A and B are shown apart, each in its own frame.
Chain A
Amino acid sequence: MQRPVSRRHLVWTGAAVVALAAAAPLLTANPYAARLAQLLFLNVVLASAWNLVGGFAGQISFGNASLFGVGAYATSLLWLAGIPPVLTMPAAALAAALYGAAWGWPCLRLRGPYFAIATIGVAEATRIVANHIEAAGGASGLTLPLEQDIGTVGLYALGAVLAVVAVLTCDLVRRSRLGLGLVALREDARAAAASGVNVAREQVKAFALAAALTGLGGAYYAQFTLYVVPEKVFGFDLSISLVLMVLVGGIGTVSGPVLGAVIYLILEQFVLASLADIHLAAFGALLIFIVLMEPRGLAPRLVQAISLIRRRFRRPEAGGPA
Chain B
Amino acid sequence: MKDGLQVSGLEVRRGGARALRGISLAVGSREVVALLGANGAGKTTTLRAISGLSPAWRGEIHFAGREITRIGPAAVVGAGIAHVPEGSRVWPEMTVMENLRLGAWAVRRKSGLTRRLDEILTLLPRLAERAGQLAGTLSGGERQMAAIGRALMAAPRMLLMDEPSLGLSPRVVDTVFDTIRAIRGEGVAVLLVEQNVVRALEIAERGYVLEGGRIVREGGGRELLEDPEVRQAYLGRAAG
Contacts and interface: CB of A to CB of B under 8 A. Distances in A.
Contacts of B93: 183, 187
B77 A196 contact: yes
A194 B89 contact: yes
Given A187-B91, A188-B91, A195 B102 contact: yes
B46 to A, nearest CB: 14
A192 B98 CA distance: 12
* Interface range for B: 20 to 34
Interface in A168-225: 177, 180-181, 183-184, 187-188, 190-198, 201
Contact of A198 (B72, B92, B101, B151): B72
A102 B124 CA distance: 44
Contact of A194 (B51, B78, B101): B51
A198 B78 CA distance: 11
A141 B72 CA distance: 45
Interface in B141-194: 150-151, 154
Nearest to A183: B94
Interface residues of A, number: 17
What is the predominant secondary structure among interface residues of chain A facing chain B? helix
A204 B53 CA distance: 19
A195 B103 CA distance: 5
B10 interface: no
B94 A184 contact: yes
Nearest to B72: A198
Nearest to B107: A196
Contact of B53 (A180, A187, A194): A194
Contacts of A181: 102, 105
A193 B53 CA distance: 7
A193 B90 contact: no
Contacts of B106: 195-197
A191 B77 CA distance: 13
B90 A197 contact: no
Given A187-B92, A187-B93, A187-B94, A193 B102 contact: no
A188 B136 CA distance: 13
Given A184-B94, A190-B89, A191-B91, A196 B53 contact: no
Interface in A277-316: none
B67 to A, nearest CB: 18
B151 to A, nearest CB: 8
B4 to A, nearest CB: 20
Contacts of A184: 91, 94, 102, 105
Contacts of B76: 196
A74 B100 CA distance: 43
Most chain A C-beta atoms within 10 Å of own C-beta, residue among B85, B94, B98, B102: B102
A112 to B, nearest CB: 17
A198 B74 contact: yes
B73 interface: yes
A177 B113 CA distance: 14
Interface string A137-168: 00000000000000000000000000000000
B210 to A, nearest CB: 20
Interface in A30-49: none
Most chain B C-beta atoms within 10 Å of own C-beta, residue among A181, A196, A197: A196
B94 A195 contact: no
Given A183-B94, A184-B91, A191-B89, A197 B53 contact: no
A318 B72 CA distance: 58
B206 interface: no
Contacts of B43: none
Contact of B102 (A197, A198, A201): A197
A187 B105 CA distance: 16
A142 B85 CA distance: 55
Contact of A196 (B73, B92, B98): B73
B30 interface: no
A19 to B, nearest CB: 33
13 contacts: A180-B98, A180-B105, A184-B91, A187-B91, A187-B92, A187-B94, A188-B91, A191-B89, A194-B83, A194-B85, A195-B150, A196-B82, A201-B74
Given A187-B93, A196-B105, A196-B106, 18 more contacts: A180-B105, A190-B89, A192-B102, A194-B53, A194-B89, A195-B77, A195-B82, A195-B105, A195-B106, A195-B154, A196-B77, A196-B82, A197-B102, A197-B105, A197-B106, A198-B72, A198-B73, A201-B74
Interface of A: 177, 180-181, 183-184, 187-188, 190-198, 201
